[in-house]
Structure 1
Amino acid sequence: MRPVSAPAFGPLDFQLVLLRRMADHQPGLVEDALRELDVDRAAMREANRRWQAMVHSSRRRAAGARYRSVLGPPGTTGERRVGDLTFEALTWRVPLWPDLRFEVLAAPGGVVWNEWLVRAPGAAGPRLRTVEDLVPWSCTVDEVARAFPPARPMEGTAPTRWRLAFSAPDAAGERGEYVAEFTWGLLQRLVA
């Protein structure tokens, strides 16, 4: 008897991986997304288990090749400069967030330097003027950093998490100090 192989890991499974990490901070939004995708929490856990197995396998592919095998050919490719370094920038559509793209920045040789959600070219981002405008899942790391300079990057609490410290006014005009937490580049919550 031949072993039954699992179906190919694809874009739906990848979205479930993104949601799994976001469930720690936004379980209600994740539940809504699971309903929209017509899957349950068990499917999300299984997708995450399979992803972790791929990432940690002794036969694992380089991260750039792994994303191509899971998400297909990138929707866009280009170059991005960060300081003195030039990266290959690859993006893919993420149906759950149509105004965002999953971006991978790969250094020469294919080593992935960064992987997160960014605003799609031409898509209007939110108007971020006060801290009340910072609604979970509404904006990306880059958008918050540009809206409230000088934002200071901080170490995240886990892989795929980022934090920014910044000063911003509230609706009454009072300035305060805040820390925003992001998962896969998407705002999850304010912690201060």
Structure 2
Amino acid sequence: MPSDTRPAGRPFTPLDFQLVLLRRMADHNPGPVEDARRELGASLTDMREANRRWQAMVRSPHGRGAAARYRSVLGAPESRSARRIGDLDCEAWRWPLPLWPALRFEVLLAPDGAVWNEWLVRAPGAPAPALRTLDDLAPWSCTVDEAARAFAPARPLEGSAPTRWGLAFTAPDGEGVRREVVAEFTWGLLQRTAVRG
């Protein structure tokens, strides 16, 4: 029976949250998103409904704060650690997601509990991808920080939506010619690259 027959009013689960991530990624990579959605046993209707419910929670004037919302949906973080970014102290919360076992969903919290950032990062101990040329920059192959380190200096670009980021950098093509590249990320995961010029 199709999974879109799930009862209304049910709790928002980690499965639903993965569908929310996929819904935003579908704008760039519908093929891998369709494969991942099927792997989760979810219908297209499920994905749309999960996104609708998530947006309602985010926009609700009576809803929980972002940190409390993530805890209610994903449970207690797998890890919590202090982090210093420039002059700012924060705490990083991380959760595993079955779709991306080598990654973790990370939320950075300010001392007052406000969420500064939320995205996918490499799991501790998981091998980072070897990023040397444009050919290595396949969709879903790397995170924002991995691409920025591999092709430093990278310049951050404003994304087209709150969950999107961009990087501009130079990278060699398969023949060793350095190219100007713009990479687009959704929820911290690489979606596509474009070569300028």
Give the shorter-chain TM-score range: over 0.9
2:82 corresponds to which letter in structure 1?
E
Counterpart of 1:171 in structure 2 is 174
2:189 equivalent to 1:186: yes
Q: How many residues align?
A: 189
Tell me the TM-score normalised to structure 2 length.
0.94
Deviation at 1:126, TM superposition (A): 1.0
How much has 1:29 moved relative to structure 2? 0.4
Question: Separation in 2 of the partners of 1:5 and 1:48?
Answer: 14
Secondary structure class of the residue paired with 2:15: helix
Unaligned stretches of 5+ residues in structure 1:
none
Matched, 1:120 2:126: no
- What are the Cα deviations for residues 1-22 of structure 1, in whole angstroms up to 9, with x where unaligned? xxx8511001000000000000
Q: Which amino acid is the alignment partner of residue 48 of structure 2?
A: R
- Tell me, yes or no, if structure 1 residue 32 matches structure 2 residue 35: yes
Percent identical across equivalent pairs?
69
Q: Which residues of structure 2 form unaligned runs of 5+?
A: 1-6
> Is 1:63–2:46 an aligned residue pair?
no
Structure 1: distance between partners of 2:165 and 2:8? 36
1:109, CA displacement in angstroms? 1.0
**Post-superposition, which runs of at least 4 consecutive aligned residues in structure 1 deviate over 6 A?**
none
Q: Provide the secondary structure at the position in 1 that maps to 2:27.
A: coil
Residue correspondence of structure 1 range 129-168 to structure 2 within 5 A: 129-168=132-171
Q: Does 1:53 align with 2:56?
A: yes
Q: State the distance in 1 between where 2:43 and 2:168 align.
A: 35
Question: How far apart in 1 are the matches of 2:93 and 2:72?
Answer: 13
Please tell me whether residue 111 in structure 1 is matched to residue 106 in structure 2. no
The residue identity in structure 1 corresponding to 2:190 is L
Alpha-carbon separation, structure 2, partners of 1:19 and 1:91: 18
Q: CA deviation at 1:173?
A: 0.4
State the partner residue of 1:23: 26
> Take 1:191 and 1:113, find their aligned partners in 2: how far apart are those partners?
28
Write the distance in 2 (CA, Å) between the matches of 1:21 and 1:157. Answer: 11
1:73 and 2:76 matched: yes
Mapped to 1, the partners of 2:129 and 2:61 lie a distance apart of: 42
The equivalent of 1:13 in structure 2 is 16
Deviation at 1:44, TM superposition (A): 0.2
User: Shift in Å at residue 49 of structure 1?
Assistant: 0.3
Q: Higher mean Cα deviation, 55-64 or 180-189? A: 55-64
Tell me how far 1:73 sits from its aligned partner. Answer: 0.1
- The one-letter amino acid paired with 1:177 is E
User: Deviation at 1:131?
Assistant: 0.8
- What is the TM-score when the length of structure 1 is the normalising length? 0.97
Q: Deviations over 1:49-86 (max 9, x none)?
A: 00000000111111001000000000000111110001
How far has the Cα of 1:191 moved from its partner? 2.5
